[in-house]
Amino acid sequence: MVSAAIVVWALGWWINVWLANGTASDNRVVMMLIPAVFGLTVVIVWELLVRGYAVNPVILPAPSAILERMLVEGPRLWADFHQTIIKGAMTGYVIGGLAALGIAVLADRSDFLTRGILPVGSFMAALPIVGIAPIFVKWFGSDWESKAAVVAVMVFFPILVNTVAGLRDTQPMQRDLMRTYGAGYWPTLIKLRLPSAMPFIFNGLKIATTLALIGAIVAEFFGSPTVGMGFRISTSFGQLALDMVWAEIVIAAIAGSAFYGVMTLIEKRVTFWHPSQR
């Protein structure tokens, strides 16, 4: 088994060397294929090593065991996903995002406030805000409302800072042009300044996707109903059902990447004019 793992590793690496240095290496399909081969190689090597060394499943379960668990526990995983991601993370993400956008647009009317909010906001974004989770669980109860509150606070600052910075990103020439058209504050905001702030806003929104999932899962460690990904991770862990823990990890990873991917897709649609998208 162990020698098979070494063979698989060498084979996977050799395929990738061949693909990457081959003539078709800039082809789109090949560019997707190479990381896929790499990922697959890692999973197979993991499986073979776990079997070969007979690693205790309490320490590291084999990928096949995790996959099996995911298939068997489908409905329960879906319930956890619904509780944590849809109710907790999404609600908080929307609330925090809307609040940040609103405050950014309000603060933007005053140059004085903008200069205050930018440093304070980026300072706050670097702080360990997850630490408020136990306090919020106490305030808002253990159901999804407290998770949404934690998520809202966590995503608020990155989105706020990026939006405020984005709204300042128009050039005097462009603003003057709007003025020669006789456009007031609102037309200028909607037709010029918000669109040109979009690359910044989406940068904040994309950073916030991961934060939202982290906040929702971590907050469940401090109290939750008997459903939810954080709850399942900590209780399955207590039962030494590591394959269930890993199943939740896989779900969280897929959800995180998908959430990020969706934001990137929307960004492509909205900011198609920006140099980075062309």
- Count residues binding other proteins (CB under 8 A): 58
Cβ 191 to other proteins shortest distance, Å: 28
Give the number of other CB atoms < 10 A from CB of residue 99.
16
190 binds other proteins (CB under 8 A): no
Distances (CA, A) of 139 to 85, 128, 132, 147, 150: 21, 19, 11, 11, 11
Q: Which residue, chain included where needed, has tokens 């990904």?
A: 229
Q: Return the range that interacts with other proteins (CB under 8 A); candidates 44-52, 143-151, 156-164, 208-216.
A: 208-216
User: By C-beta, is 257 or 277 nearer to other proteins?
Assistant: 257
- What is the C-alpha to C-alpha distance for residues 190 and 196, in angstroms, rounded to an integer? 10
Per the structure block, which two tokens stand in for 210?
């991961």
Per the structure block, which two tokens stand in for 246?
């890993």
43 binds other proteins (CB under 8 A): no
Do the beta carbons of residue 16 and residue 37 sit within 8 Å? yes
User: By C-beta, is 46 or 221 nearer to other proteins?
Assistant: 221
Q: Which residue, chain included where needed, has tokens 């950073």?
A: 207
Q: Return the range that interacts with other proteins (CB under 8 A); candidates 63-71, 155-163, 171-179, 247-255.
A: 247-255
Amino acid identity at 103: I
Cβ 173 to other proteins shortest distance, Å: 24
Q: Return the range that interacts with other proteins (CB under 8 A); candidates 140-148, 172-180, 189-197, 207-215.
A: 207-215
78 binds other proteins (CB under 8 A): no
Which residues lie below 8 Å from residue 70, measured CB to CB, with a gap of 6+? Answer: 77, 247, 250, 251
Q: By the criterion CB under 8 A, which residues form the site for other proteins?
A: 13, 16-17, 19-21, 25, 31, 34-35, 37-39, 58-59, 112-120, 123, 126-128, 130-135, 138-139, 209-210, 213-214, 217-218, 221-222, 230, 233-234, 237, 242, 245, 249, 252-253, 256-257, 259-261
